[in-house]
Structure 1
Amino acid sequence: MSIRFRSRVPEGWTVDSAVRPFRFPGGEWHFAWPERETPVSAVLTGAEPDDLVLLALWADVARERGVRSVAYIPYLPAARADRGTPFGARVYANLINAAGLDEVVVFDPHSPVAPGLVDDVRIVHSASAVRDAVFGRHGLPGDYVGIIAPDAGARDRATRVAELVGLPVFTAEKHRDQATGALLSYAPPTLPAHGRLLVVDDVCDGGATFVALAESTGVARERLTLWVSHGIFSGRADRLTEHYGEIITTDSHPGARRPEIGARVIRLHPYLIHDDTSPGDPRNERGNER
């Protein structure tokens, strides 16, 4: 399971719930909700279908207790399946909507399509998290000289980061086989000859796109940093370490901590809850979660 629940206890603190889901012999999920806990939120990472069942059970408890049900689903399942048949984004959105949640918070979705299918959704963009992780809270560029968008689809998110830190954006172009969709080559932009460059995108699965991008630029490994909001890091993604001096992602997906990648993993939750605690601060502040 990749879901956890947050509760408020009589002492006034917001804590991880003590609830322990279990399965009946017939296969159905269930749990006994602790009487002293008031549901506050559910946090779901990854895309395990069992977690969506547990999410719906938790939302039912929240309704019975008369409190709001807020689900943080930073990695929106099937966000990349935003066209075609079966229409995966719609199928997963329907599963989430069936829980009857009061609010669903997602982080840097692949496109507007999938979140547009989810009821009562709030989208959190990645720019502030990227700024803080790479440049610090004050957004000082340091020895960075530019932001690279791997393709036209990543230009908007790369531009949001660039505007925060005052750097130019360089956009690469992909060339694909129209029949198979396979990546044939990259047309890299003209890049500065010196200084570090930050590649910004939403998802890294097997990493082939980012390997091809790095190879096409000819930029030395120590000059390239890779930010991906959702690090799945499947298959041969470990090849990324040959091309990027640092890889940074968030804890939105269980794959983020694959040992062979050695990514720096950013705690995302503070960016999702809009509290006044500094992002990354591990303190459990009273009342800092809605």
Structure 2
Amino acid sequence: METRSRSSNNIAILSSDGTQELAGRIQAGLRNKSLSCPHILIKSWSFNNEEEGIHIPFSVRRRSVYFVHCPQLPNPNTGIIQALFAAEAGREGGAQEWVHILPFIPYMRQDRKDRPRVPISAKAIAEILSKNADRIFTLDLHVEQAPGFFDIPVENLSARYIFAKYFRKRFKGDISNIVIVAPDAGAHVRATRFAEKLGKNVEVGVLRKSRQKDSKVKIEKYIGPDLTGKIAVQYDDINDTGNTNIEGVRFLRELRPKEVLTCFTHAIFSHDGVSSAEDKMRAEGVETVTTDSIPRNDVYIKKGSIETFRGLFILFSITH
């Protein structure tokens, strides 16, 4: 790919509804590096037939544009279309470079064919997001091979660095009593890497689960070091329905640990028609640490036992 020179007067940061604060923090981070640039909110709307419209109310001609957007909002289908249309509008407007900053990318869990005649949806979405873009910054894609689905370079950053810093500070540097627990076999590598980042001797365990009907989960077995008197941290990338986290916490509590915490990057917190995953976890007394990769308002962030770690601007501060 051609290397393009950048200066403070040819960079622009665009954001969409819900990501203005994150974009503002990125702008502030660049300002601290003596790179001053405008931050513009794109305009989006829905027509009566639910088609989407996009307008960039600012000239992006000959600029390197960084579009801060969460495709999960207002829903995954609309969010993906907005990203596609924004990049198209930017190219039509003469942008020299278009970089997506997408803290969370939906559909990445659909990364393989589990039966005949189904799509690899993660690959299809990756191809859509690659159109008219030069690079993508994102956070904790669900599987390691996901960057290979895209037609452009992808910077798949990880929140484990800020989580490790958080837990070291919380426990005043004494991490000898912590055991990182993967909620299933598929998360074992992710949990191991987090444990390595947290400390050299941090141990890892794993839960074995089976899925029942209606998204229900049954925990069958724990494999790992003895949890008696330990601090068990259940670690994963996504919390959607909350069922895996809640059942995992219930099972781990029976193993007599001192404390059980959960930690994950992306808080989708779906609603099942009765209550949201957030409400179910709070009712269960599950203490959680997560990030603002899917933006939520201050009322949500400050409520109860769910602590949202606002540190993503560090990961997404672009170095020039």
TM-score (normalised: structure 1):
0.77
Aligned in 2, Cα 1:76/1:36: closer, same or farther, shift over 3 Å?
closer
Deviation, 1:157, is 1.5
Partner amino acid for 1:56? Answer: L
Deviation, 1:135, is 2.2
Partner residue, 2:290: 249
Deviation, 1:229, is 0.7
2:282–2:304 CA contact under 8 A, matched in 1:
yes
Partner amino acid for 1:230? Answer: H
Deviation, 1:24, is 6.1
Deviation, 1:247, is 0.7
TM-score (normalised: structure 2):
0.71
Deviation, 1:101, is 0.8
1:145 aligns with 2:178: yes
Aligned pairs (5 A) from 1:172-191? 172-176=207-211, 183-189=217-223, 190-191=225-226
Please point out which of 209, 223, 227 is paired with 2:263. 227
Partner residue, 2:105: 76
The secondary structure found in structure 2 opposite 1:82 is coil
Q: How many corresponding residue pairs?
A: 274
Cα deviation 1:103-151 (Å, max 9, x = unaligned): 1122111113433212221211232021123223999245742111111
Please point out which of 166, 170, 177 is paired with 1:133. 166
| CA RMSD across the alignment | 3.6
Deviation, 1:75, is 1.4
The secondary structure found in structure 2 opposite 1:14 is coil
1:102 aligns with 2:134: yes
Partner residue, 2:230: 195
Partner amino acid for 1:163? Answer: E
1:39–1:69 CA contact under 8 A, matched in 2:
yes
Identity across aligned pairs (percent)?
Answer: 22
For 1:254 and 1:12, the matched residues in 2 are separated by: 25
Q: Single out whichever of 259-268 and 155-164 deviates more from structure 2.
A: 259-268
Aligned in 2, Cα 1:201/1:261: closer, same or farther, shift over 3 Å?
farther
Aligned in 2, Cα 1:12/1:172: closer, same or farther, shift over 3 Å?
closer
Deviation, 1:183, is 3.2
1:42 aligns with 2:42: no
Partner residue, 1:272: 315
1:13 aligns with 2:36: yes
Q: Single out whichever of 249-258 and 122-131 deviates more from structure 2.
A: 249-258
Please point out which of 109, 116, 119 is paired with 2:148. 116
For 1:22 and 1:216, the matched residues in 2 are separated by: 45
For 2:139 and 2:122, the matched residues in 1 are separated by: 15
2:65–2:95 CA contact under 8 A, matched in 1:
no
Aligned in 2, Cα 1:176/1:124: closer, same or farther, shift over 3 Å?
same
The secondary structure found in structure 1 opposite 2:143 is coil
Cα deviation 1:269-289 (Å, max 9, x = unaligned): 32432x4xxxxxxxxxxxx66
For 2:301 and 2:268, the matched residues in 1 are separated by: 9
2:42–2:54 CA contact under 8 A, matched in 1:
no
Aligned in 2, Cα 1:16/1:213: closer, same or farther, shift over 3 Å?
same
Deviation, 1:12, is 5.2
2:230–2:258 CA contact under 8 A, matched in 1:
no
2:65–2:97 CA contact under 8 A, matched in 1:
yes
Deviation, 1:55, is 2.4
Aligned in 2, Cα 1:168/1:222: closer, same or farther, shift over 3 Å?
closer
Aligned in 2, Cα 1:244/1:105: closer, same or farther, shift over 3 Å?
farther
Give 5+ residue unaligned stretches, structure 2.
1-16
Give 5+ residue unaligned stretches, structure 1.
276-287
Partner amino acid for 1:14? Answer: C
